[in-house]
Amino acid sequence: MKYIQRFILTLAVILLAGLGAEARAQAASAGADPRLQDMVIGKADAKITIIEYASLTCPHCAAFHADILPAVKADYIDTGKAKLVFRDFPLDNLAFAGAILARCGGPDRYFTFLNVLFAQQRQWATASDPKAALTQIARLGGVSAEQFDACLADKALGDYILNSRLEGNQKFNVNSTPTLIINGKTEAGVPSLDELRKKLDALAK
């Protein structure tokens, strides 16, 4: 499929070119495309910033979103103590296509798509025709098959996602998912909810 080939080729070109934060910043400011920006939940002035790098085909990422993030959202994000910045770190072409789908619907539908993609990860990521499975999710979320195909072919959108991955690796040494960066500090491994609470409580004081 064309988007598989473009994932491999574009990532290789980006790595050779050494692009990263500068390219993402240029993409974000180049044309006011609302899809080309950090996706954030929480108050802009929250004391704690949690950056999550994740891949939509990563089972550990799906588990984090199912088992840990809801409590963090209720106790820290919804109360104004923290904000979550989600950044794409696709580990394969299917995660890349899923990331494109999540952004295809725009910021207002981004986290709804993200939650559905993680919750239904086993179904679409292991489907005999994952493109068809993603297209079905797109339709249910109000994105037509034609719109999804257009997003898959959108070079600026694909490059933004791949640059997000590259920046995570270069700036924060991200090499596995999920990886959390809390107030600028990269966390080793995925903390348990209790461990994460201790870190966030200390920073919220």
Question: Model's pTM, two decimal places?
Answer: 0.84
- Whole-angstrom distance between the N-terminal and C-terminal Cα of the chain? 51
Both tokens of residue 56? 């939509």
Predicted pLDDT at 190: 84
Banded pLDDT at 28 (limits 50, 70, 90): very low
* Tokens 């103590």 belong to residue: 81
Distances 157 to 5, 18, 84 between C-alpha atoms, Å: 15, 18, 21
Q: By mean pLDDT, which of 2-11, 68-77, 189-198 is the weakest?
A: 2-11
Answer for the pair 158, 7: CB distance below 8 angstroms, yes or no: yes
Tokens of 74: 């209720």
The percentage of residues in the chain with a pLDDT greater than 70, rounded to a whole number, is 85
Pairing of β 82-88 and β 48-54: parallel
Give 187's DSSP letter: P
CA atoms of 193 and 205, how far apart (whole Å): 18
Backbone phi and psi for residue 42, each to the nearest 5 degrees, phi listed first: 115, 170
Strands 39-41 vs 48-54: parallel, antiparallel or unpaired: unpaired
pLDDT at 20: 47
Mean pLDDT score of the chain: 88
Check if the beta carbon of residue 83 is closer than 8 Å to that of residue 50: yes
